């Protein structure tokens, strides 16, 4: 029984347990890179979007230009976005993060602004009547009430970012996309399928995580539903 190895790796099967066990480290590294790239870019996007949306709410004239610019940024294809930023950041992880941040900006600014605008004027006036200043009004009344809309945008941004990270493979920082890219060139079926499935798993996990956070942060929506 000294035939050449006849396992699923040698037969190049789609589903292969040996692949999982022998490449565990590589897969883990790719997943970690994927999650890091996604979370950093969405967090930076959130940090930039929040003040932009608040500004747009305070001064109505600012909302139009902010929305227009972010929408144009969203129209630029991901592959083109990474390459347009190439002269600025070179072949680096920062390049991918910067590109993804610009994408999440559109979704986040739009949703946070919509959430802030949906706060009823009565509520605002009641808070003012209770002696709330503008900052306290924003932090303790307007932002919490805008949370559901903002979280909806955040969930979409996170899920989209998870899938867009794969395109970062073109500059070598694509997390699981690197494995898909390499597997395409070598016709390595198990690697392509495993990495693709893991991408979807990360996206679903991120979505569920944010949904959980939303439920924790907005207990009043559950109470109202009874």
Partner 1 sequence: MTTLTEAWDWLSDPANWSGTDGVWQRLLQHLVLTVVCLAVSCLIALPVALVLGHLGRGGALAVNISNVGRAVPTFAVLVLLLLTPVGRWGEGPTVVALVLFAVPPLLTNAYVGMREVDPSTVRAARGMGMTGRQVLFRVELPLSFPMVLNGVRIAAVQLVATATIAALAGGGGLGRIITAGFNLASTPQVVAGAVLVAAFALVVEAVFECAERMAPAWARGTR
Locate 57 and state its tokens.
């709410």
> Cα–Cα distance between 97 and 89 in angstroms, integer?
10
Binding map of partner 1 across residues 115-154, x = CB under 8 A, - = no contact: ----------------------------------------
Q: List C-alpha distances in Å: 107 to 40, 64, 127, 157.
A: 16, 15, 29, 6
Q: Does 164 bind partner 1 (CB under 8 A)?
A: yes
Q: Does 189 bind partner 1 (CB under 8 A)?
A: yes
Locate 112 and state its tokens.
């946070």
CB of 180 to partner 1, least distance (A): 5
Q: Does 87 bind partner 1 (CB under 8 A)?
A: yes
Under DSSP, the state recorded for 167 is G
Stretch that binds partner 1, among 36-44, 50-58, 119-127, 155-163 (CB under 8 A): 155-163
Q: Does 156 bind partner 1 (CB under 8 A)?
A: yes
Under DSSP, the state recorded for 139 is I
Say if CB 194 and CB 19 are below 8 A apart: yes
Stretch that binds partner 1, among 36-44, 59-67, 78-86, 129-137 (CB under 8 A): 78-86
Q: Does 192 bind partner 1 (CB under 8 A)?
A: yes
Task: Name the packing angle between helices 143-164 and 189-217 (round to 10°).
Answer: 180
Other C-beta atoms within 10 Å of 214: how many? Answer: 17
Residues at the interface with partner 1 (CB under 8 A): 72, 75-81, 83-84, 86-87, 156, 159-160, 162-167, 169-171, 177, 180-181, 183-184, 187, 189, 192-193, 195-196, 199-200, 203-204, 207
């Amino acid at each position: 029984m000294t035939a050449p190895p006849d396992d699923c790796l040698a037969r190049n099967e789609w589903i292969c347990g040996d692949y999982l066990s022998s490449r565990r480290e590589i897969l883990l590294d790719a997943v970690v890179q994927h999650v890091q790239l996604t979370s950093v870019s969405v967090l930076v996007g959130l940090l930039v979007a929040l003040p932009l949306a608040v500004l747009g709410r305070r001064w109505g004239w600012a909302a139009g230009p902010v929305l227009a610019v972010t929408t144009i940024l969203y129209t630029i294809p991901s592959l083109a976005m990474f390459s347009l930023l190439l002269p600025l950041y070179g072949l680096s992880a920062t390049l991918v993060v910067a590109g993804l941040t610009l994408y999440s900006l559109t979704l986040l600014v739009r949703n946070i602004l919509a959430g802030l605008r949906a706060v009823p004027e009565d509520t605002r006036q009641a808070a003012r009547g209770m002696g709330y200043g503008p900052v306290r009004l924003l932090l303790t009344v307007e932002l919490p009430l805008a949370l559901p809309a903002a979280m909806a945008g955040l969930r979409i941004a996170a899920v989209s970012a998870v899938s867009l990270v794969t395109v970062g493979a073109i500059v070598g920082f694509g997390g699981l996309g690197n494995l898909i890219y390499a597997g395409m060139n070598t016709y390595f079926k198990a690697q392509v399928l495993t990495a693709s499935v893991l991408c979807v798993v990360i996206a679903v996990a991120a979505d569920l995580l944010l949904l959980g956070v939303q439920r924790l942060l907005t207990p009043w929506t559950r109470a109202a539903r009874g």
